[in-house]
Structure 1
């Protein structure tokens, strides 16, 4: 019940991981061609999951790395500004604040008292000097799902680069980068995609690819990557230009196994399950007198449910859940639960009975 933190590992994922680890233990790099196939297939499935082209996909080590590659790749000018919210995770804040050394200013949009960030508030913050709007798909504290379609429309109309940190939605809620007019997106797979650490994804729209400076080039960034002593800094004509070196074959094999499951089941089915379980959880919490902190209008729902109590001690509630092996997050005087599609109604009932 804590996928918004770190997800458990599935048998399929562990099999993919151990299979490649055993292969390397016994054969070294003899099966390098299989590693390359893992990379090709994983890239294809990430593209399918995001609604992008495979050559718009790069692998990164973390969400923060993806954000930094984009933030450091923009050609900034003094007076430019970036629109951020005051409730985003630091991975999608500090890389943009770091651009203040180039004369960039930050325009903060504050979360409203009801936990929402209306599109009109973001639109009002955009001016003639705004270069980027950077926002989370789903907010990590209360699970509010931003209206990426509407925000994307505003950014496209205003000529603003639209960046999304998707780590708290990718794998739980369906999204389409093309339909949402997203310029670039970063996420890791260790939460809702049920993978171990070590491999995340960066999407960069082909229309903006060549506008981004490659801030961290390496041997794998260039067209003739295998010709090591011919130093021609001619970047690949794809998002792979942002992959400076060899990829982690064990993480690739594990991620491939999990993405095959997600694309096989379909994000429509997965989202419906996640929303159904969290609806059940929210209804039960409200009946028991808890205060929901997660906005739950139809287009705002995610896999995160956050609640507080006016009468019970949150520390005591957290201890009770922990004693019953119900994994959760306690933060800011609230409890956050985040079930996934494979959780069951009986498990939701068990949590509610504990409360």
Structure 2
């Protein structure tokens, strides 16, 4: 898949001067996405209003995200962030009568923050074992009283990939709904919500989806959506806007006017990703990450990712001074994303093996002036 960078690197001006390896935090900005942002700006600057066009762009973005994850457009809500998506979901579960929620110690901190604010729920944490989450842990911690299980598709810290289909089978057998945080997977790992069987999935656009902050998407399975009545819902979550009845699909999880500038960006970014094909991106990213893992080992670097799970789309390197090292790398125009004591190298379809090796050389050589 080396042809992907050759075909598409020219769309990313930053790559002419920088090595961008921070897709787990913020991907490089593509020219089509930049033009979409400019289109939004120009429509206001020169036309004064763009409401109708913005609503159509919102529908287009919803359709593109649905295509990306194998859903139907009316199963997708547009929300400000994944955190907002979970807040809305948490406000909708009273109809089930069960008060037990579980999440994992690999979830992004926003997940426990949401549930800490809901004192009427009993919350349990599923612990990882030596950096992995065996399926037996889900068997043990999900009970018949569990209303919702929250899991990350990919661990934000080291790229560990979970088998969502297997987890969904366990949660369904126990009578629990499953909420999947796909922020670290959507855009570089193929997702099929119908095949996997999860009831809910959310992802934002600023990471592997090539967008900017301000918009995320929430999938809610069609058969489930009508049974839920989120308290975090407002006029964009109602039929025809001004009517009081909930929308008859996942749109009921929407609140107010979305950040249209971010919607414009998302529409262009998702269109590009779907044009390339996430399976092609996955194959390319796996190839260059596998090479980087071997190269890092040859350089004597210690990897942070545990064995097990799927092939990660991230190379996580242990460094007790990760933030300092990342800042020094930035001076050499190598952009990565540190987290705690880990330097995360997260490539996309526009990256090459040479990009990854350059970053690893800089980390290993200790030639950076500190």
Q: Same fold (TM over 0.5)?
A: yes
- Can you give the 5+ residue segments of structure 2 that lack an aligned partner in the other structure? 1-20, 365-370
2:48 matches 1:28: yes
Indicate if the aligned counterparts of 1:172 and 1:302 stay in contact, CA closer than 8 A: no
Partner residue, 1:270: 281
Mean Cα displacement is larger for which, 186-195 or 326-335? 326-335
Partner residue, 1:39: 58
Partner residue, 1:83: 102
Indicate if the aligned counterparts of 1:60 and 1:202 stay in contact, CA closer than 8 A: yes
Mean Cα displacement is larger for which, 187-196 or 77-86? 77-86
Shift of 1:315: 6.5
Shift of 1:175: 0.9
Partner residue, 2:311: 301
Indicate if the aligned counterparts of 1:135 and 1:165 stay in contact, CA closer than 8 A: yes
2:38 matches 1:18: yes
Indicate if the aligned counterparts of 1:2 and 1:337 stay in contact, CA closer than 8 A: yes
3-state SS in 2 of match to 1:300: coil
Q: Write out per-residue CA displacement over residues 96-155 of structure 1, whole angstroms, 9 at most, x where no aligned residue.
A: 2322x21x2122111111x11111111111122111110111111111111101001111
Please provide the CA RMSD for this pair. Answer: 2.0
State the alpha-carbon separation in 2 of the partners of residues 319 and 219 from structure 1: 43
Partner residue, 1:133: 149
- Residue in structure 1 matching 2:354, options 342, 346, 350: 346
- Residue in structure 2 matching 1:107, options 103, 120, 124: 124
State the alpha-carbon separation in 1 of the partners of residues 84 and 318 from structure 2: 33
Paired residues, what number? 343
2:186 matches 1:170: yes
* Mapping for residues 1-355 of structure 1, pairs under 5 Å: 1-29=21-49, 31-75=50-94, 80-99=99-118, 101-102=119-120, 104-113=121-130, 115-225=131-241, 228=242, 232-295=243-306, 297=308, 300-308=310-318, 317-318=325-326, 320-354=328-362, 355=364
Indicate if the aligned counterparts of 1:173 and 1:302 stay in contact, CA closer than 8 A: no
TM-score with structure 2 length normalisation?
A: 0.87
3-state SS in 2 of match to 1:128: coil
Shift of 1:317: 4.4
Q: Write out per-residue CA displacement over residues 182-223 of structure 1, whole angstroms, 9 at most, x where no aligned residue.
A: 111111100111111111101111111122222123222222
Shift of 1:316: 6.6
State the alpha-carbon separation in 2 of the partners of residues 34 and 315 from structure 1: 42
State the alpha-carbon separation in 2 of the partners of residues 265 and 233 from structure 1: 41
State the alpha-carbon separation in 2 of the partners of residues 223 and 60 from structure 1: 17
Q: Write out per-residue CA displacement over residues 76-101 of structure 1, whole angstroms, 9 at most, x where no aligned residue.
A: 788721121123112222222322x2
Shift of 1:325: 1.8
Indicate if the aligned counterparts of 2:322 and 2:340 stay in contact, CA closer than 8 A: no
Shift of 1:334: 2.2
3-state SS in 1 of match to 2:196: coil
Indicate if the aligned counterparts of 1:142 and 1:306 stay in contact, CA closer than 8 A: yes
Q: 1:302 to 1:33 in 2, by over 3 A?
A: same
Indicate if the aligned counterparts of 1:74 and 1:211 stay in contact, CA closer than 8 A: no
State the alpha-carbon separation in 2 of the partners of residues 321 and 213 from structure 1: 48
TM-score with structure 1 length normalisation?
A: 0.91
Q: 1:78 to 1:10 in 2, by over 3 A?
A: same
